[in-house]
Amino acid sequence: MGVTGKSNITDFNEYKLSRERSISKKKVVHGSFDSDYGYNPANVQHDMQMIKILTRGKKNISSQLAQDIYYKIKVEKIEFYSEIGMQFYDKVINSLTDIQIRNINNTILKKKQKEIKRKRILSINRKIIISLFVIQLLGSILFLNWNLIMDIRTNLMAHQLESKISVSDNFEKPVNLITAINTNLDEDGVTAEGINKVVESGEKEECSILKKFELLHNENQDFSGWLTIDGTKINYPVMSRENDNNYYLDKNFAQDYDKNGLLIMDYRCNSIDNTLKNTIIYGHNMRTGVMFGTLKNYKDRAYCESHPVIKFDSLYEEGEYKVIAAMLSEVAYEDEEVFRYYDAIDISSEEAFYEFRNNIKENAIYYYDELEYGDSCLTLSTCDNYKEDGRFVVIARKVDTN
């Protein structure tokens, strides 16, 4: 009979009775015998080598050594395959009392239970770690794609707004502001009184807003025009809120949160007839290209030469502009004596105009197609990380399309 640490025999008398039955029947049990004579040289050699290891070469088996051997046999699930091995196991068992065997079995059981508990805790911890890793991975994926998701939403909303322009454009064209003013000319021609008469009569809203923009303006009174630059992603509504250039930095047309914000026309430029002569529009320089993310293309003069036209239709008139310069600038401290392009709102006087033009020439990356006094200008501004609080600015002049 083969004896193994897997055996459930804990009572010595039961073990002896089982062994005697096996031997008397001369049957193969757990590979103990390979014939009726019960001898297999390989099995004998295996068992003798195992006995030598278990006894550590000692001939006499003390009670303590017997306990160590029995413990090792049970824990390591050691098997014997020959009569020599079985006799050795008998000797070990005979050296132990029932209490010792029971104590060893209890110790092994507790150890197994402890190991099972440890493995269970490790399994739980592993699952927690895997779950946290998955959450972190999903979070990273979501974070990396969140900008893309937001950009898709921003562009989709812009497309929806643009479609409303197309619908509105099918309506009858409005009476132009200038036409309305002309109908109120006195004998001396255009006067402030004549312009005021138009404004005070309430014809401003009815007559001067382009018909194609009426739907958008009715949805949001801050809507002030539409900016488009072919060859870029720039094709967005322009907003202007009274006394507040920051409101749409993180809001969309519906005035809900949107990290991309919208294009913002400086509220100081928001005049009906552009008498101040310079319109400034701000926008975020988004890495994904939305808003003014592709305006940086104009740092390359060659790109500018191949994409010179900017189309900006204000709330009151359609306009086409030609890029004449690009420059790097910054937001200056109050005590710095530098060119603050963002404060060059009114360039209608000769002094203000030439100061504006000279500062652009001094700071420009490139400059061509000379500005002339009386030109209406469009200034596009966005952030640039070439320095702290850096800005990249594109300046264009209005061209006559008639």
**Claim: this prediction has a pTM higher than 0.95:** no
What pLDDT does residue 38 have?
59
What pLDDT does residue 19 have?
45
Query: Residue 335's pLDDT band (boundaries 50, 70, 90)?
Result: confident
How confident is the model over 106-113, as a mean pLDDT?
Answer: 90
3-state secondary structure the chain: CCEECCCCCCCHHHHHHHHHHHHHHCCCCCCCCCCCCCCCHHHHHHHHHHHHHHHCCCCCCCHHHHHHHHHHHHHHCCEECCHHHHHHHHHHHHCCCHHHHHHHHHHHHHHHHHHHHHHHHHHHHHHHHHHHHHHHHHHHHHHHHHHHHHHHHHHHHHHHHHHHHHHHCCCCCCCCHHHHHHCCCECCECCHHHHHHHHHCCHHHHHHCCHHHHHHHHHCCCEEEEEECCCCCCEEEEECECCECCHHHCECCCCCECCCCCEEECHHHCCCCCCCEEEEEECCECCCCCECCCHHHHHCHHHHHHCCEEEEEECCCCCEEEEEEEEEEECCCCCCCCCCHHHCCECCCHHHHHHHHHHHHHHEEEECCCCCCCCCEEEEEEECCCCCCEEEEEEEEEECCC
Between 332 and 143, name the one with better pLDDT: 332
* pLDDT, tens digit, 9 for 90 and up, residues 139-188: 777 766 777 777 888 888 999 999 988 665 554 444 444 444 444 444 44
Residue with the two structure tokens 């994926």: 141
Q: Where does CATH 2.40.260.10 sit in the chain?
A: 214-399
What pLDDT does residue 2 have?
47
CATH topology for 214-399? Answer: Sortase; Chain: A; (2.40.260)
Percentage of residues of the chain with pLDDT beyond 70:
78
How confident is the model over 177-201, as a mean pLDDT?
Answer: 46
**Strand 377-383 relative to strand 309-314: parallel, antiparallel, unpaired?**
unpaired
What pLDDT does residue 230 have?
93
Query: Residue 333's pLDDT band (boundaries 50, 70, 90)?
Result: confident
* pLDDT, tens digit, 9 for 90 and up, residues 61-97: 888 999 999 999 999 999 999 999 999 999 999 989 9
What mean pLDDT value characterizes the chain? 81
Query: Residue 278's pLDDT band (boundaries 50, 70, 90)?
Result: very high
What pLDDT does residue 32 have?
37
Between 315 and 272, name the one with better pLDDT: 315
